[in-house]
Structure 1
């Protein structure tokens, strides 16, 4: 009969210990520090911030005709400025990116404008222009290049991609005046014959004077 009395007592003790000793899952949750939750929140917030900043950079690459942001090299900027010497009139950079072409042109005395679809790059360009002291002559606008008319510009700079060059060529033919000059970087226009070419590799720039290719078109 003593054995029959000790079994309930043992079960009772086990049940009491069950309330005291946590299960493996409960133990892992107990061991979690508040710092773990804080770290998780920080990482999650950082990922959201990166997504918010990166989305405008990536989105243009998903368009039918994309104009992705690829920073110009110092040599490219130097070659563009070289082809602008002895030129006058307002300048536009189509797809102005981080604004360095526009800022460099403004330092050379041009009234320069950049059109860029990415708002982050436009705000950054405005800040750089202010920092360089040329914010009065270097302006930047958030706009789709296909919705802008370029007839008021005497100098046009474009860092394009092959897919967009034929369509842009037609647009500029219709809009630009005879005294305008077009400077293409990285990729030439498909049908125009350049008046000047300078640089090598990715730093090459092709220069087209509108009066020249219009003169060729008028010949029999």
Structure 2
């Protein structure tokens, strides 16, 4: 057989091997691409889930960073205060860290673990990690009885429920500072700022008395006769 014939006979075999190698290369590339995409989706879910999950709750605190004016207003209305302070829904920790720098033993409660870890890092970087604490927790499952100063960036849907919780837990010496939205029935003793930077200050002695009065009215029959006095 001539050399030309041998070449022609071997050409299909070479082509077949080339096709097999090309298919294996494509298959390997597909596996790599699938792995990368899958890993990216898992990573995206891991990062996004802590932000999305709270939003799926019936009542949640969305993360909206406090403005510089809001932080200054909070510290301003609490300038004569001291002791323990808690920020409910502490976000990236800026209120807690600022309060610690002004002498408070400050804590933050936040449902998003990424924000809590970032807050801890910021506190360490700012040198106030010994006077701050950040907790991953649902605010409805925590007692705030140990705090004498409370800061809350709430939403309207939760403020009436939070009124009852704080009134039943806080000591009568406590002060509560509401940012962005006031409490629905409490009467503030002071306000500071304007617009979205407004803060409302409430005295625990006043709203605890209001709660007790309301509970008394609920437990007392409307048409109960007042007993006559006997001398």
TM-score (norm 2): 0.77
Report the Cα offset of residue 46 of structure 1.
2.1
* 2:60 is aligned with 1:66: yes
Partners of 1:87 and 1:103 in 2: CA distance: 16
Residue 117 of structure 1 corresponds to which residue in structure 2? 111
Q: Deviations over 1:98-156 (max 9, x none)?
A: 11111010010100011112222111111111011100001011111111111111100
Range that drifts further, 54-63 or 198-207: 198-207
Partners of 1:39 and 1:201 in 2: CA distance: 50
Equivalent residue of 2:129, what SS?
Answer: coil
Report the Cα offset of residue 62 of structure 1.
0.5
Equivalent residue of 1:152, what SS?
Answer: coil
CA RMSD of aligned residues (A): 3.2
Q: Deviations over 1:142-186 (max 9, x none)?
A: 111111111111100011111111111001111111110001111
* 2:70 is aligned with 1:84: no
Residue 129 of structure 2 corresponds to which residue in structure 1? 135
Residue 175 of structure 1 corresponds to which residue in structure 2? 169
* 2:27 is aligned with 1:47: no
* 2:115 is aligned with 1:146: no
TM-score (norm 1): 0.81
* 2:87 is aligned with 1:103: no
Equivalent residue of 1:183, what SS?
Answer: strand
Q: Tell me, which stretches of 5 or more residues in structure 2 are unaligned?
A: 1-9, 214-231
Range that drifts further, 31-40 or 200-209: 31-40
Partners of 1:140 and 1:217 in 2: CA distance: 30
Partners of 1:198 and 1:43 in 2: CA distance: 50
Q: Tell me, which stretches of 5 or more residues in structure 1 are unaligned?
A: 1-15
Residue 228 of structure 2 corresponds to which residue in structure 1? none
Partners of 2:134 and 2:212 in 1: CA distance: 36
Report the Cα offset of residue 211 of structure 1.
2.1
Equivalent residues in 2 for 1:6-45, closer than 5 Å: 32=26, 38-45=32-39
